Chains A and B, each alone.
Chain A
Amino acid sequence: MNQSPFFIEIDTFSRMKEGEPICGDCFVTKKVKTEQRMVIVLSDGLGSGVKANVLGSMTASMAANFIVQHEPVQRTATAIMKTLPVDSERQMSYATFTIIDIRHDGETHIVEYGNPRCEIIGIDGVRTPERKKVYVDEFADESRVMFTFSFKAKKEDRIVFYSDGVTQAGMGSLNYPFGWEEGGVRTYLMNHLKDTPQISARDLVRKVVSHAVAKDYFAPKDDISCGVVYFRKPRKMLICTGPPYHNEDDARMADLLNRFDGKKVICGGTTARIVSRELNRDVKVGMVSEGGLPPSSKIEGFDLVTEGILTLGRVTKLLDELNSTTINGDGPAVEMIRQFFESDEIKFLVGTKINEAHQDPNLPVELEIRRNVVKKIVRLLEEKFFKEVTIQYI
């Protein structure tokens, strides 16, 4: 999102009801690159388990698609209600949703239906824009009413939205007879943000969800989900892979890396050697390879130094398989993905020299062309994880 005064970091996290195989709360996030918009929908499907998941996914994806196409909320809601199957027990078709539509300049529209209210928290405390009532259709009674409101987000604002699993966490317990409740969540958020004002969306959603899970004595009684939109100063990362096409550019590449303000990652043995030579810093190589990849090395001033094409290949595979920003395990590829997740603006500095040693027909086919692998990673980071990515060839 160019010329945006801030980076919009979005993350979501869910824990499913104890004993259920699948979560009934669904998030759908869509990025409309041409209009520089983001649309995020949280839907809590009726009941829990597979049925709830089907209802929730349908609602969330329909809502996101309608809103992306600029359909009015009322038509969106009516269409969803007409499409959802009628529940056999409750004789109604129903799923809640929260729709957040953000323009790159911070102009935000929110629609709430059935979910707990979302919190808008800025540096100066909680903001409460006036909510407007919208009836789902002309026959709707007071129980079928949506709330819409708009506001202009500023830097350091956060939108926190969650399912009723969070507000009802701990319900019936001695300390929280009525659950955590919206007030309790708000107090928790305020206290937490006072202590750690820079906390990322990724960390905050996990904190809120795990806190709610704890209130349910670690056996959630409902699906518990939380999403956070954080309008933040972008965290930058530069990843350099491949030697420059012309040898004269070696120094320029090393200089670009050295002067960069942010996380720095080198991916490639030859690249590491060039940087080490140009900056006159030693490369220390580890001895233990993890996860079937060559071990990572260390160069002073760099956050990560790994082998090149094999690691990039593995990163592509892992990013493709991941469905959230939770990643377990060790090894250079996993470490690189963690670095990606902790950054907002990622720049690839790609050397275009062809590695003649890799043109050996004895080598396995996994050795793909670097530029193609990088393109795949860039696409995944942009479309799946909503990072701002640029590529510079050298």
Chain B
Amino acid sequence: MSKKVQVKICFGTHCYVMGGSHLEMLEESLPAELKDYVEVSGSPCFGHCEEKTAGTPPFVEVNGTIIEKANIELIINYIREVLADGIRE
């Protein structure tokens, strides 16, 4: 795996008050084995909160895929899936 998994956390108002404020802890909460394969960054509002179909905030984008109602556990599980897929390929 040469390319890192890109995790973008929305720091827009809506996501922030709906639980996104905890997600800034993500980088510290990453299990040791994942740390080298993940890059976490912040983002201004994605605009997903205005699209009715996207779901409920807080939103996080992992390699461009939207995760709704994101929490740290959910994100880590998803990163694991992405990495596992990558290895299979």
Contacts and interface: CB of A to CB of B under 8 A. Distances in A.
A309 B45 CA distance: 13
B11 A289 contact: yes
A356 B47 CA distance: 11
Contacts of A288: 24
B13 A367 contact: yes
Contacts of B18: 362-363
Interface centre among A272, A283, A294 (most CB of B within 10 A): A294
Given A269-B45, A287-B41, A294 B16 contact: yes
Interface in A346-367: 355-358, 360, 362-364, 366-367
B82 to A, nearest CB: 21
Contacts of B57: 357
Contact of A310 (B13, B42, B47): B13
A270 interface: yes
Contact of A307 (B12, B24, B41, B47): B12
A363 B44 contact: no
Contacts of B71: none
Interface string B31-47: 00000000011111101
Contact of B21 (A286, A292, A358, A363): A292
A269 B17 contact: no
Interface residues of A, number: 29
Contact of B42 (A272, A295, A357): A295
A282 B45 CA distance: 13
A297 interface: yes
A322 interface: no
A368 B57 CA distance: 19
A221 interface: no
A363 B27 CA distance: 26
A220 B19 CA distance: 49
Contacts of A270: 12, 45, 47
A357 B21 contact: no
A285 B44 CA distance: 7
A362 B56 CA distance: 11
A363 B14 contact: yes
A244 interface: no
Contacts of A360: 14
